Structure 1
Amino acid sequence: MIRAVLFDLDGVIRHFDHDPGLEARYALPDGTIARTAFAAPLIDSVTTGRLTREEWITRVGEMIGSAPAAREWGRTPFAADLDMLALVDGLRSRGVTCAILTNGTDTITAELRDSGIGKHFDRVFNSAEIGHAKPDIRAFRHVAAVLSVPPEEILFIDDSPSKLRGACAGPRHEHARLHQRRRRPHCAHRCRPPRVPRVASPRQHPRDYGEHATRCPQ
């Protein structure tokens, strides 16, 4: 039985409203900023707390040759996915612990507080504070330990297949149940649906976010 659901933040709980004309205004090739910002080792440094968000944006500006473009990109607004928050509220009303695990920066706490997203969750786990980012299995082990929930009783929802690897990478007793908002599950093993309490919400059930929720064999 699923006792806790662990949600990714960006692309699942919140979505950014990117300006498609930003780079053109600064005479930058399309996609330059994102490719630079999310490339290793820079992204690894900010999501494990070795750089602040401000330092990250500054370095992006230096690397692309346009500090103003990087600063404007860094101010991109976001909005919460209200259907997902309704799902979270429904699950919590049934006694299921709901938490966020995000590869984030040092400003995540303030962002979730100011946007009101944080109040919908029992816990928020930020890689910049943990020191390990998904798909590092140590991030998932940390969450399970703090929640005091066996990994096999945690459902993980993420929009990125690559982030799911860590939750399926451990030995038998550390495998987690997984789910993702994609048409097909990304799991290296044959999977089966987990049992999750049904809730009333705009999308009804976590399984509605893909063909089925998946569980790595134990």
Structure 2
Amino acid sequence: MSQNDNLDGIKAVLFDFGGVIAEEGFREGLRTLARQQGLDEQSIFEAGMDAVYDSGWVVGWGTEADFWRLMAERTALKGDPDSLRAVILERFRLRPSMLALVDALRRAGYVVGLLSDQTEWLDELDRRYRIYDHFDRLYVSYRLGKGKRDPSLFDDIARDLNLAPQEILFIDDSPGNVAQARRQGWRALLFQGEADLRRRLREMGIPSS
């Protein structure tokens, strides 16, 4: 019997990055910039979320320059793109205890992966913090050409893992992404804090330390 045969059939655990493994730097960075410039925080954040998809940047067919061009056209946000991006990147603060959880699951025999709608900024963060070393698989939207808004992404990943959908657990802080994963047959948990996550994993029979 393998180590996971009696643990609710889950063989892989995939984590979102911003908002789970790290603080949500894109949201907090844009809101910080809005406050600094006297703009509405929620409007700037929503414009940023639309622009990162509408520019194609987050799925790899657009560029960072395309993103900032749309932001300039659609909002009153001003500034040099290098300075603006620095504010955002510094707010992707890693949560060491979440990486420790990833490491513990890996030691317990689970395949652990990162599943995130991110641009090449994630590679830049990895060069600083060696994030990728903690994961067996990386599923990042700009590399894959599609993001979590596309339900076929979940089917693609299940095939890549060679697992049935119900053998995969996904952890994300977005209710919409959690619902999308569940519609594709995955198990999924909404991240509402580390203590809550560890409790729910224990209830599923999955070791969290």
Regarding TM over 0.5, the answer is: yes
**TM-score under structure 1 length normalisation:** 0.74
TM-score of the pair, normalised by structure 2:
0.77
Taking the aligned partners of 2:30 and 2:169, their CA distance within structure 1 comes to 33
Instruction: Give the Cα–Cα distance (whole angstroms) in 2 for the partners of residues 52 and 3 of structure 1.
Output: 35
- The number of residues matched between the two structures is 186
Q: For residue 36 of structure 1, what is the aligned residue in structure 2?
A: 47
- The aligned counterpart of 1:61 is 72
Higher RCO, 1 vs 2 (CA within 8 Å, ≥6 residues apart):
2
Distance (Å, rounded) in 2 between the aligned partners of 1:182 and 1:97: 22
Preserved contact between residue 117 and residue 141 of structure 2 (Cα < 8 Å):
yes
Aligned to 2:172: 158
Aligned-residue RMSD, C-alpha: 2.6
What's the offset of the Cα at 1:88? 0.4
SS in 2 for 1:6: strand
1:76-95 deviation per Cα after TM superposition (whole angstroms, max 9, x unaligned): 21211111111001000111
Equivalent-residue separation in structure 2 for 1:132 and 1:194 (angstroms): 33
Output the CA distance in 2 between the equivalents of 1:117 and 1:3. 21
Higher helix share: 2
User: Is 2:133 aligned against 1:119?
Assistant: yes
Instruction: Tell me the equivalent position of 2:206.
Output: 197
Partner of 1:181: 191
* Paired AA for residue 120 in structure 2: D
The verdict on how the C-alpha distance between 1:160 and 1:113 changes in structure 2, with shifts beyond 3 A counting, is same
- After TM superposition, give the deviation of residue 31 of structure 1 in Å: 3.3
Report the secondary structure of 2:61's partner residue. Answer: coil
Q: CA deviation at 1:24?
A: 4.2
In structure 1, how many angstroms separate the alpha carbons of the residues matched to 2:178 and 2:82?
Answer: 31
